[in-house]
Structure 1
Amino acid sequence: MTDVSPTSPTEAPNPLRDLPAEGLRSRAAEALERARARSTVLTGVVDDDDLVRQHSKLMSPLVWDLAHIGSQEELWLVRDVGGREPLRPDIDDLYDAFQHPRASRPSLPLLGPAEARAYVAEVRAKAFDVLERAPMTGRPLTEAGFAFGMITQHEQQHDETMLATHQLRQGDPVLHAPEPPPARSGELPGEVFIPAGSFVMGTSLEPWALDNERPAHEVEVDAFVLDTVPVTNGAYLEFLESGGYDRREWWSAAGWEYRSAHDITAPRFWRRERDGWWRVRFGVHEPVPVDQPVVHVSFYEAEAYAAWAGKRLPTEAEWEKAARFDPATGESRRYPWGNDDPTPEHANLGQRHLSPAPAGAYPKGASAFGVHQLIGDVWEWTSTDFAGYPGFRAFPYREYSEVFFGPEYKVLRGGSFGTDAAAIRGTFRNWDYPIRRQIFSGFRCARDAAPGERA
């Protein structure tokens, strides 16, 4: 790892670090309450039969996610931080995600809907009691309220997982939200040039950052060119209609094997009808909107499109440099637009809308280089295998990220319309198998800068 000296690129500080204890408690309480309100919506809009049903073997029953949220909150906030007696030690194993794969969870003696709701409510009451008394310093787990931020992010991550389960369920729509804003940026350039040079990747200053985002380290990136916006449905349709799914030359060996074995012919939830391509979105059957970023595509599909377009997927370092680095100051920002927390003007987050927004809908969220919609809308596949940064240390448990390190998983960046602001930032790293399509995944393309483009 390269030392970040005073003359080197720097990382923007987070004002959360300077809040007094009461300010941290208030911030944590608000974040926990927002997460619980969302969990309540996602589990309250369906009946008990829907809650206990497994809508796909890729996903847990919604009632498992709900009780698992409570179990993790009990383990870390009530028992560890609070030092309180266990509420339900008898269910610890039931809600250990590493003991039971998703496909087998419906066969477990799970808490029923009423019992699960009562359990998470009891845990939350005790967690708030702990929050009123917990020190905000002294231990890595409590420093700047980290444990409360970790549990907030855990619940929001499961909320996004539950939202993906809603997308997979059959039946009439039960979730409703206003349409996203229209494009407001006018005509945008197709690509943005990012000059060669170093920047600070990752973070050592974000108090609620998770272990795989740490530590900050200086990375050298060669000059490259990045798409200004994520690849849209309209652009992806050109690939599809040109026979992209039938032409072996665009696909990697693993990608072609996957496509062929599963007869993949279009993004998930798309269907060709007599008058064009349609999709199912949370129970709504609608024409595919050509101006929105494509969603529900695997890494292999993104990789094939990029090859067809004469480009490639960006590396994780390229993505983060385009998102965070400000060449005017040499600072790596917390977010593309700066260091302020996201607002509805910056990004499509938090299930505020139930689809990606059209390309160009968030001009105030553009990065210093002029790259748009790097946060929100769709998770973006990168070409990078998931691994720890130089100096990585697992905290507070190896199973959060370290056990997933390796070439089996690809890194995704930026969050989606289903990601809450508490669970995303310029350094946040997601990962999944390259075959995954039920997640809210899209992509943008990159290419090496030509000699004449280099600064």
Structure 2
Amino acid sequence: MGTREKVEAVLTRARRRTAGLTDCLDDSDLVAQHSPLMSPLVWDLAHIGNQEELWLVRDVGGREPVRSDIDELYDAFKHSRRSRPSLPLLNPAEARHYVRAVRDKAWDVLDSSTFRGRPLEEHGFAFGMIAQHEQQHAETMLATHQLRSGAPVLTAEPAPRVGVPVTEKEIIIPAGTFTMGASDDPWALDNERPAHSVYVPSFEIDAVPVTNGRYLEFMDDGGYCRPELWSERGWAHRCEAALEAPQFWESDGRGAWWRRVFGVPEPLHPQEPVVHVCFFEAEAFARWDGKRLPTEAEWEKAARWDPTTGRSRRFPWGDSDPDDSSANLGQRFLGPAVVGAYPSGASPLGVHQLVGDVWEWTSSPFEPYPGFTAFPYREYSEVFYGGDYRVLRGGSFGTDPVACRGTFRNWDHPIRRQIFSGFRCARDISGDER
């Protein structure tokens, strides 16, 4: 597939998903704020169009603005999510008209693009950036749907409930240097760059993400009542927020747990990866299990390093893009698949489901790589470095393949759990285990 065809495909797929997440709701649901953590969905819709206008229509295309008067309204850094409902936003009909008008101009820009010239235009980077931006907002909108009350509006096939047995519980990753990050991937974002060598001591990492069944064992062993398992800050948050279980879990009072999934209560499946846990919960579980969370470098080495060739792959299974057999991505389902459901997506050393299903918390703060350069604007990554964030890796069932690869970095505050977040554990290994 050539660059033009690829761009057309990813932009079309992103817009189809955006429409699916907004057309299913009436206007009152679109303008409502379903959580102070999230924007009204109508804001996300017009913001998607505004970013496309700024970068594709005006910058790359040099075209006349569609609506320059609304730039400030949809600048994410000028208005907090909590404050956005009070802004004079476009109404749903106006927002839909706006994004259609912008897309029509973007198609004209694509038709005339040579994908050469400035770094922003080389290999269609700006188009890839906008497709990733829209899909990232689509995942955010999906999280808003999970927070929304009212009758269910989303439908999908159930995720796979049967997987191959994964006999190894932990996988040894040998000590050594590997290439972390990306320099050659034309659509990699600035925080993934540049590629650089990192030495990682030997360690063990869980072969699969932590499951609901394992997490229930932690809960049954008093995990939420034992301060020694939590960091000082984590315990303070657990008490202040009255955490007793992952978000959206509900007990029937007789020992059985259910999970609310986009408005539908479902029995908890013990072999699905646990989802909607914050960093502090993941950290406490790891300490209870005699382990720790992996560092970002450990996670990426487990996901990308090929011991046979010594090189880093784009994905655990190789360099080819994800397909339906390798990972649970793209909102094909409305939840994680059971562990072992994607054996063809395992890494060369046998680590499963590193991509898709749930974002995985790491212990690493969000910091720049050596030689980082902000591109094409500081507000994508640079302004977040050094803040109160932890890195998440791997993507979730709600992440589109265009916004997911072995080098992709996500980050969020350690208290956040409305995101589709889970984790797996790691541990140091002694000399006689190597």
Residue in 2 that maps onto 1:319: 299
1:37-436 pair list within 5 angstroms = 37-275=16-254, 276-436=256-416
Once structures 1 and 2 are overlaid, which stretch shifts more, 339-348 or 402-411?
402-411
Residue-by-residue CA offset, 1:375-408 (whole Å, 9 max, x unaligned): 0000000000001100000000000011000151
Paired amino acid for 2:317: W
Tell me if the contact between 1:378 and 1:417 (Cα under 8 Å) persists in the aligned partners.
yes
Once structures 1 and 2 are overlaid, which stretch shifts more, 285-294 or 31-40?
285-294
In 1, the alpha carbon distance for the partners of 2:308 and 2:193 equals: 24
In 1, the alpha carbon distance for the partners of 2:433 and 2:409 equals: 30
Runs ≥4 residues deviating over 3 A: none
In 1, the alpha carbon distance for the partners of 2:362 and 2:167 equals: 23
Residue-by-residue CA offset, 1:279-311 (whole Å, 9 max, x unaligned): 111000122111100000000000000000000
In 2, the alpha carbon distance for the partners of 1:194 and 1:24 equals: 36
TM-score, normalised via structure 1 length = 0.94
SS at match of 2:389: strand
Tell me if the contact between 1:183 and 1:362 (Cα under 8 Å) persists in the aligned partners.
no
In 2, the alpha carbon distance for the partners of 1:403 and 1:246 equals: 36
Gaps of 5+ in 2: none
Once structures 1 and 2 are overlaid, which stretch shifts more, 402-411 or 392-401?
402-411
In 1, the alpha carbon distance for the partners of 2:164 and 2:429 equals: 25
Tell me if the contact between 1:188 and 1:360 (Cα under 8 Å) persists in the aligned partners.
no
> What is the RMSD of the two structures over their aligned residues, measured on CA atoms?
0.8
In 1, the alpha carbon distance for the partners of 2:72 and 2:203 equals: 48
In 2, the alpha carbon distance for the partners of 1:288 and 1:363 equals: 23
Give 1:447 shift. Answer: 0.1
SS at match of 2:334: coil
Tell me if the contact between 2:389 and 2:411 (Cα under 8 Å) persists in the aligned partners.
yes
Tell me if the contact between 2:164 and 2:341 (Cα under 8 Å) persists in the aligned partners.
yes
TM-aligned CA distance change 1:414 to 1:187, over 3 Å: closer
Residue-by-residue CA offset, 1:202-240 (whole Å, 9 max, x unaligned): 010000000000000000000000000000000000001
Tell me if the contact between 1:229 and 1:372 (Cα under 8 Å) persists in the aligned partners.
yes
Tell me if the contact between 2:163 and 2:338 (Cα under 8 Å) persists in the aligned partners.
no
Tell me if the contact between 2:166 and 2:207 (Cα under 8 Å) persists in the aligned partners.
no
In 2, the alpha carbon distance for the partners of 1:97 and 1:118 equals: 21
Gaps of 5+ in 1: 1-18
In 2, the alpha carbon distance for the partners of 1:186 and 1:331 equals: 28
Between the aligned residues of both structures, percent identity stands at 67
Tell me if the contact between 1:239 and 1:308 (Cα under 8 Å) persists in the aligned partners.
yes
SS at match of 1:245: helix
SS at match of 1:326: coil
In 2, the alpha carbon distance for the partners of 1:288 and 1:250 equals: 24
Give 1:101 shift. Answer: 0.3
Give 1:188 shift. Answer: 2.4
Tell me if the contact between 2:296 and 2:362 (Cα under 8 Å) persists in the aligned partners.
yes
Paired amino acid for 1:240: M
Residue-by-residue CA offset, 1:388-447 (whole Å, 9 max, x unaligned): 100000000000011000151000000000000000000000000000010000000000
In 1, the alpha carbon distance for the partners of 2:7 and 2:166 equals: 41
In 2, the alpha carbon distance for the partners of 1:130 and 1:330 equals: 41
SS at match of 1:285: strand
